[in-house]
Amino acid sequence: MTHSFRAWAVFAVVWATALLCAGVVQAEASLYQRIGADKLSAVVDEYVDVLSVDPRTRRSFYRSDLKRVKKMLTEHLCDLAGGPCKYAGDSMRDVHAGHGITHSEFLSGVELLRVVLVKQQIPLRERNELLALLAPMKSDVVDR
């Protein structure tokens, strides 16, 4: 081993140790941790309230138990975002079956979610991560 390589290796070990001790290198917090349980719950509460009254989306909430919808959506988002919850509800396909949700209604729902996320002061990075987790479910939600 050459002297310069040995010196570089020692420097790298010292630098890595210093970073670890300083807390600079640490595991990334989950999306759930970064948003926070209270904030996630507030997002879901407001989002379901808005969806259920907005003329573009309210049709599919007719006769829905909004309290249950909020509970199950909170559990599902908690699970998706890496939180301690385990979603035990039906699949998204089963939940939305028979509602006849259109592409337009889906896009309106996404738009409303974006508005709620901004209003609840969810940072851009976390908004984008959450939307990315939900996007693949479109085919299970849109019926026609």
Give tens-digit pLDDT for 25-48. 567 899 999 999 999 999 999 999
Cβ–Cβ < 8 Å for 37, 83: yes
Q: Band the pLDDT of 7: cuts 50, 70, 90.
A: low
CB atoms within 10 A of CB 95: 17
CA distances for 34 relative to 16, 93, 135, angstroms: 25, 28, 20
Measured CA to CA, the distance from residue 34 to residue 31 in angstroms comes to: 5
Comparing CA positions, the residue from 66, 142, 134 lying closest to residue 98 is 142
50-101: per-residue pLDDT in tens? 999 999 999 999 889 999 999 999 999 999 999 999 999 999 999 999 889 9
CB proximity list for 28: less than 8 A, separation 6 or greater? none
Give the pair of three-digit tokens for residue 95.
Answer: 């939940």
Measured CA to CA, the distance from residue 19 to residue 108 in angstroms comes to: 45
In CATH, the number for domain 29-141 is: 1.10.490.10
Q: Band the pLDDT of 49: cuts 50, 70, 90.
A: very high
CB proximity list for 70: less than 8 A, separation 6 or greater? 44, 45, 48
Q: Which residue has the tokens 């079956």?
A: 97
Between 1-15, 76-90, 99-113, the lowest mean confidence (pLDDT) is in: 1-15
Q: Sketch the domain layout of the chain as residue ranges.
A: 29-141
Measured CA to CA, the distance from residue 113 to residue 50 in angstroms comes to: 9
